[in-house]
Amino acid sequence: MSARDAVRRQAEAVRRTLARRLESTPDPNERAALGRVLAGLERDALRRPRTAGLEAEEALAGLTRRLEQAVRAARQGPFDGHLAALERHYEKLSRLAQTLHERHALPPAPAAGRRARTGRRSARAARAPGAAAAVATVTDYESLKAEYRRLWERCEVRPERAGHVAYYGKRLREHRTAYEPVAAALGIPWQFVGVVHAMECGFSFACHLHNGDPLRERTVRVPKGRPVTGSPPFTWQESAVDALRLQKLHRVEDWTVPRMLYLLERYNGFGYRRRGLPTPYLWSFSNLYEKGKFVRDGAFDPEAVSQQCGAALMLREALDERT
């Protein structure tokens, strides 16, 4: 089953649940709200995607918004399992969102000092071709600050990717109210929180920001057992604060653009720098990146091209202006 067909199947299941509730609810306000949600689902089914290549992602985001509207519309009982059904739908949509995200998400890049396997060429051959911009191989921020500023100013969205970048920027802004409490708790910009959420979770609010594990339990993958305090299931905000504290981001005082770019690259790893390559984690979909990526843990393919929007391009969309 294609991703688009999977979203359509979930949309039909949601529609049936809401139609049953529309027939049974005693609340006229809820009936009116559900009528609007169902009409919206019908319009969504007929609407052509505005961004080529993002059909499933756009449809899933729209369906999730409709489901959230239905949850807010629930006014009074008897619910007869209605809210539980909506929760199950939301979990399925969240899992599907994570699946779509993992299809293109970049695996962690090895630490700069670790030699990774190269699939088709030697490591020496992998350094030269495929880079639209050369980068330094050092990893300390003071040595890289001017480079980040230079790349930020040179960065241009590839024309064929403009629709994708605008779409991700829109989703970041839509979720601002979810990011702001986390940002306020740690003293960091909401835009940075949002970009990490997009890169690591594909905007899913049902998983830990640490590694994408479900919020209903502590994390199972590395880092394991997070958060160490509290009891599951965790809220997304609780988990996000713990994940960003684990990265010691609450101690950062400099939140200029170069510093944010450095912290984002560090979040994924400096493995691309050892090859003198601009990391796709930052620059994918821009004129600064052409090809070369880690396709799995420790395995670098110089011909592979990242299909995930770079964090720098999302950050620029989320910021009011370049600073």
Q: For the chain, how big is the Rg over CA atoms in Å?
A: 21
Predicted confidence (pLDDT) per residue in 64-97, tens digit: 888 888 888 887 778 878 888 988 888 888 778 8
pLDDT at 88: 86
Q: Rounded to whole angstroms, how far apart are CA atoms 138 and 144?
A: 8
Q: Using DSSP, state whether 125 is helix, strand or coil.
A: helix
Q: Are 156 and 316 in contact (CB under 8 A)?
A: no
Q: Rounded to whole angstroms, how far apart are CA atoms 276 and 128?
A: 8
Q: Name the amino acid, one letter, at 76.
A: Q
Question: What is this structure's pTM?
Answer: 0.79
- Rounded mean pLDDT for each run of 10 residues along the chain, 323 residues in total: 84 93 90 92 75 74 86 80 86 81 82 49 39 83 96 95 90 94 97 94 89 89 93 94 96 97 94 92 96 87 93 92 40
Q: Rounded to whole angstroms, how far apart are CA atoms 270 and 24?
A: 56
